[in-house]
A and B are shown apart, each in its own frame.
Chain A
Amino acid sequence: MRATTLTGSRIRERRTILGIKQADLARRAGVSPSYLNLIEHNRRKIAGKLLNDIADALDVEPAILSQGAEAALVAGLREAAGVQESDAELDRIEEFAGRFPGWAKLISETSARIAEYETTVQALSDRLTHDPHLAASLHEMLTMVTAIRSTASILAEPGDISPEWQARFHRNINEDSARLAETSQALVAYLDTLDDASSQATSPQDEADGVLAEHAFHFPSIEAGEEGPDEIGERLGNTLSASARTIFETVLARYAEDAAQLPLEDLEAGVAEFGIDPVALSHHFREAPDRILRRLATLPAKGTRPSMGLAVCDRSGAMIFRKPLDAFPLPRHGAACTLLPLYAALHRPGVMVSELLEQPGQTAPEFVSYAFAAQTGPAPLNRVPLYQSHMLIVPVTAERPPLPLARIGVSCRICPRGGCPGRREPSLLAEERGL
């Protein structure tokens, strides 16, 4: 490998190839032609700004001038040899790169491409392993295929099978193939929308959220006692996948239970008297604070009363219900901002956590939040119970209440806040802005 003392030779060679006169290059680099001549004859060493200026004028990376193209090739070959054990003659790398630069480049680039593919495969494998929707869908498909295969093999075998068994097996194949078709269609739809950031629904949760959003999370017929959750689920959920419909009907069932315990008329009267004050309303109605938060979120905007958002997460922190606001988005995939009171409440179950929320880019908080974590289900013996945390998001319309302030984001990846104690990963926006 040529030493850096040959930098001048490389400069002259590159200049000659490009047809640039020595005087012109000297002017562009800000040195005298005579000094450049000394450099090109390797009688003056250069580095730093001057090297960069000359490289810039010659439209080449500085390292190519100072170390030679062979250095980059040798580095690539070392990396290729280091990826896996081999009998490659490591002590002759430089000789190989010098004598066969084309082959060296091919080996180096191929090794880099393989490393890239391995990273992609690993990422896809991780997705298959850790994407619960994908894993569940694949398991369902394999189960159906297993049942169909076994049953079809029986029917295809020579020999007598009673008409009764034939009929049963044909029915089973029909049922399983219908389930398989539905699951595979849902999976294809899910995979098709994996790269589409504007996708309307990429999971059963998203499908269910979509139907709820279409009805503004408010169901007058349930409020009036005219329809039950099953009837609405049948009427509005017949286009949903089976999983989405289950989620949808679970939400409706809770909605109906809440509405039965705290009728809309009573809630409206309570809000008129106490305002959007979940603690006061909870005391007044003697209802659990989480029910109050859910009921408040179902209220449509009316007069000066704004529409309110709601986020619900389980004990793992996974969001199981999202009613975002236009100005307060909630992430559809991945984790939300760890500074949200939603998560603080999980660590203080039974305590109403209320904070003002200031989003990135705002100069003052524009939302008030009320978060409360409540136990779900019976209390198991000697085990920590399950909790769900609810966070109501209320736009500030009048004077801001004297509450602690939380400067939050949506998710770390797209949050520009610098110096955030809760940051989990670098931000795309922060990198662009050099933060």
Chain B
Amino acid sequence: MSKRVLLIEDEPNIIEAVRFILHRDGWHVDTHSDGTSALDRIHAAVPDVLILDVMLPGKSGFDILRELRAAPQSADLPVLMLTARGQNKDRETAERAGASLYMAKPFSNTDMLEAVRSLAGP
């Protein structure tokens, strides 16, 4: 059975490209584009790996991540955070919020695949 990735991102063409490369690698990919309802969506069907963008409509990815870590059912969920700023403070904020991995945009598809595979484990 394919491992499941949930991508929370509001840019449609990024969603399409990431969904394509992950699906081709054997992943089942679900997507969600609204920050306000993201937490409910995550908890409705907890994925094996969560890819979470920082800049989302309604609620930031950092806030979503903090709430995820505070909830027992998602405290250990592997999370790859995506951000459009690669500054150190964003990396530190992601780590403090509980991100498993952090990736700055623009990313390479190879790096994205490697990150998701590493988070999913064997």
Contact = CB atoms under 8 A, between A and B. Distances in A.
Interface string B80-115: 000011000000000000000000011111001000
B18 interface: yes
Nearest to B112: A150
A382 interface: no
Given A138-B84, A139-B84, A154-B21, A146 B16 contact: no
B13 A142 contact: no
Given A143-B84, A147-B11, A147-B14, A153 B105 contact: no
A143 B105 contact: yes
A169 interface: yes
Given A153-B109, A154-B109, A143 B11 contact: yes
A175 B55 contact: no
A142 B106 CA distance: 6
* Band of interface residues on B: 10 to 19
B107 A146 contact: yes
A165 interface: yes
A146 B108 contact: no
B27 to A, nearest CB: 15
Nearest to A165: B20
A267 to B, nearest CB: 38
B71 interface: no
A168 B112 CA distance: 21
Contacts, number: 55
B16 A153 contact: no
A293 to B, nearest CB: 32
Contacts of A146: 11, 14, 84, 105-107
A22 interface: no
A151 B15 CA distance: 10
B106 A149 contact: yes
Contact of B13 (A138, A151, A153, A165): A151
A150 B17 contact: yes
* Band of interface residues on A: 10 to 19
A176 interface: yes
Given A153-B108, A154-B109, A147 B13 contact: yes
Contacts of B18: 150
A142 B17 contact: no
Contacts of B21: 150, 154
Nearest to B53: A143
A111 interface: no
B20 A142 contact: no
A145 interface: yes
A143 B18 CA distance: 13
A172 to B, nearest CB: 4
B106 A175 contact: no
Nearest to A135: B85
Interface of A: 138-139, 142-143, 145-147, 149-151, 153-154, 165, 168-169, 172, 175-176
24 contacts: A138-B84, A139-B55, A142-B84, A142-B85, A142-B106, A143-B11, A143-B14, A143-B84, A143-B105, A145-B106, A146-B84, A146-B105, A147-B11, A149-B106, A149-B107, A150-B21, A150-B109, A150-B112, A151-B13, A153-B109, A154-B20, A169-B16, A172-B13, A176-B13
Given A150-B112, A154-B20, A154-B109, 4 more contacts: A138-B84, A143-B14, A150-B14, A151-B16
